[in-house]
Structure 1
Amino acid sequence: MRNIKLVIQYDGSKYRGWQRLGDSDKTIQGKLEQVLSQMSNEKIELIGSGRTDAGVHAFKQVANFHTKSDLAEDAMLDYLYKYLPEDIVVIDAEEVDNMFHSRHHVKGKKYLYRIWNAKRHNPFMRKHCTHIAEPLDIRLMRNAAEHFTGMHDFSSFTSLKTKNKSKEREIFSVEIEKENEIMDIVFYGNGFLYNMARIMAGTLIEVGAGRINADNIPKILAKKDRKLAGPTAPTNGLILYDVEY
């Protein structure tokens, strides 16, 4: 049995997220498993590095699957490119040690949140940027972002309801850059809770617009109350940017 690691890029605009659902054509995992099973003539179960929500994109998603197929990796890439839809592309396939697990072995992840910050939206970027018409103060946003770094309980920044799962995560850095109308926020950490990147982005947008004080972030973290943080930013601006092992 071989263990194959894949690196995948996708535009999540028309999908219901990564995780397989009853209708496989509507999820990234389901669509990939469908084509992989067809390719190998066996039932394939794909393990992703993590889930992405409906409408969220990936510049680098990592997944692995076990197969009896002796098809060469280059041939796999060619087959997947031919039969997957244009909005899903597998850019690398590599045979790895059988112990490799794309989710359990993750050391770090980067999420990019992209904002089109101008009075009018760009029709060509609308599926891959969140449009914010009002001016955003990048200095205030950077000041607020510094408070996210380090190990914290991110209960205020997740939609996760369960009390049994630890909500502690370490954020290594938050970088915010702006060039012309495009503002990029890159969150880099050891892991992210459900909706965490989008809620942090939504909170930073509120800070940039002057509705939340940057110095209030430590208080919001300490209170562990989702209602105190900003709104969950839209999915179209979020991209799974990198996964590290």
Structure 2
Amino acid sequence: MAVAVRHFKLTVEYEGTKFAGFQWQKDQRTVQGELEKTIAKVMQEPIRILGAGRTDAGVHATGQVIKFQTCNGIPVDRIPYALNAEMPSDIRIRRAEKTSAEFHPRYDAKSRRYAYLIDNKRFPSVLLRRVATHVPQRLDADRMQLAADYLVGTHNFASFEAAGSDRTGSSVRDLTLFRVRRDGSRIRMGVVANAFLYKMVRNMVGTLIQVGMGRVPSEHVGEIIESCNRKMAGPTAPPQGLCLVKVSY
């Protein structure tokens, strides 16, 4: 009797500090590598996963989505418990759902939401050092929001794509939300788009930090977009402030 193959969608949270990124790399500790190793151990069969986003080294996630298939008959509601019992302490499975063979967590995604956190005071917080970027100079969040407004819409975001991208298609993306707000000594940013270019969020944040410092006028962001020139945009913001919050389908 043939054993039925079952397909599962997992929502995954991880702290990216000690990972060389999400995607598998030889001789490197990666999120994909740890997930495949642990799921294989629990399911007692070789496992390969598909992920919604390839986060960089040091970038975190509370809503990464992966898919795997298995012949193991474990009930879906037991999967998070079984996997979390074996997972390293910097990865947790938040939810498990049945899905179809056709589902692809990356190509079927309608949008991704990222958050970026800045610790904006003179001396950095010890407790935030792994999950926030420290900027000692006070930032003008209102000016940053004015600049962020230029980024909302359908644009060619080539100016915010880092070198080393393996992109083969268009660099046009539809960015539907970019919010910047001050929360005491913290600057919180939230950005949503149908998809992002390589290091696009961190390059946009790096540009907005320059605006917040008063080094670049808010309206200059529109010119940066039109230029399609990476050299026109600001530096790449550090990875630790960035978190993949949600992937929507």
| TM-score relative to the length of structure 2 | 0.95
Tell me, yes or no, if structure 1 residue 165 matches structure 2 residue 169: yes
What secondary structure is seen at the aligned counterpart in 1 of 2:74?
coil
Shift of residue 153, structure 1, vs aligned partner: 0.5
Partner of 1:199: 203
Shift of residue 163, structure 1, vs aligned partner: 7.4
Partner of 1:93: 96
Partner of 1:17: 21
What secondary structure is seen at the aligned counterpart in 2 of 1:147?
helix
Partner of 1:64: 67
For the aligned residue pairs, the C-alpha RMSD in angstroms reads 1.2
Contact 2:122-2:136 within 8 A present in 1 as well: yes
102, 113, 117: which one pairs with 1:114? 117
Q: In the superposition, relative to structure 1, how do residues 129 and 163 fare at CA in structure 2: closer, same or farther (>3 Å)?
A: closer
135, 139, 143: which one pairs with 2:138? 135
Partner of 2:82: 79
Shift of residue 17, structure 1, vs aligned partner: 0.6
Match of 1:151, as an amino acid? Answer: T
Match of 1:134, as an amino acid? Answer: Q
Tell me, yes or no, if structure 1 residue 241 matches structure 2 residue 245: yes
Mapped partners of 1:77, 1:186: distance in 2: 28
Shift of residue 73, structure 1, vs aligned partner: 1.7
Shift of residue 75, structure 1, vs aligned partner: 2.4
Shift of residue 23, structure 1, vs aligned partner: 3.0
Aligned length: 244
**Structure 1 gap ranges (5+):** none
**Structure 2 gap ranges (5+):** none
Q: In the superposition, relative to structure 1, how do residues 179 and 155 fare at CA in structure 2: closer, same or farther (>3 Å)?
A: same
Shift of residue 162, structure 1, vs aligned partner: 5.7
Q: How does 1:214-225 map to 2 (within 5 A)?
A: 214-225=218-229
Q: In the superposition, relative to structure 1, how do residues 163 and 70 fare at CA in structure 2: closer, same or farther (>3 Å)?
A: closer
What secondary structure is seen at the aligned counterpart in 1 of 2:117?
strand
Partner of 2:44: 41
Tell me, yes or no, if structure 1 residue 152 matches structure 2 residue 155: yes
Partner of 1:229: 233
175, 185, 198: which one pairs with 1:181? 185
Shift of residue 165, structure 1, vs aligned partner: 2.5
Match of 2:195, as an amino acid? Answer: G
Identity across aligned pairs (percent)? Answer: 36
